[in-house]
């Protein structure tokens, strides 16, 4: 549960905060492998395009229909360290982003008590 939450936090931060200091430059395979993001000083690494498989499904007869293999195009930068609960709360407050589902802050207290108390 916590690992999934951390992954979701990371994806949200990458998706909604941005993927680098200068948005006018296109990120390519020739971009630097590591950067420091100007906005918060975070060290980031280049994540290349990759291939992924979509979810398997079943047809009306119950036979497996394998998911399609798709290329995740483009490149992006991702922080080298995990986002803390406190950092994510700060992001929510500063960006105005509203998650679709409420975040269970009380359940997260056992994993990050200082982050939740300091910014509550």
- Domains identified in the chain, total number: 1
Return the pLDDT at 113: 67
Q: Which domain holds residue 30?
A: 2-119
Return the pLDDT at 7: 46
Return the pLDDT at 100: 92
Q: What is the pLDDT along the chain (120 residues), one digit of tens a residue?
A: 444 544 445 554 544 444 444 455 677 777 888 899 887 788 999 888 777 778 888 889 989 888 887 777 778 888 898 888 888 888 889 998 999 999 888 887 777 766 655 444
For the chain, what is the largest distance between any 2 Cα atoms, rounded to a whole number of angstroms? 54
Q: Is 77 helix (H, G, I), strand (E, B) or coil?
A: strand
């Amino acid at each position: 549960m916590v690992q999934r939450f951390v992954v979701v936090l990371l994806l949200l931060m990458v998706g909604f905060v941005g993927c680098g200091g200068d948005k006018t430059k296109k990120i390519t395979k020739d971009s630097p492998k590591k950067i420091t993001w100007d906005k918060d000083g975070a060290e980031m690494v280049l994540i290349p395009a990759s291939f992924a498989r979509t979810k398997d499904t079943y047809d009306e007869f119950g036979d497996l229909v394998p998911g399609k293999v798709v290329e995740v195009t483009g490149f992006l930068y991702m922080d080298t360290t995990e986002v803390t609960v406190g950092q994510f709360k700060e992001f929510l407050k500063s960006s105005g982003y509203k998650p679709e589902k409420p975040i269970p802050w009380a359940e997260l207290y056992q994993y990050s008590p200082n982050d939740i108390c300091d910014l509550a």
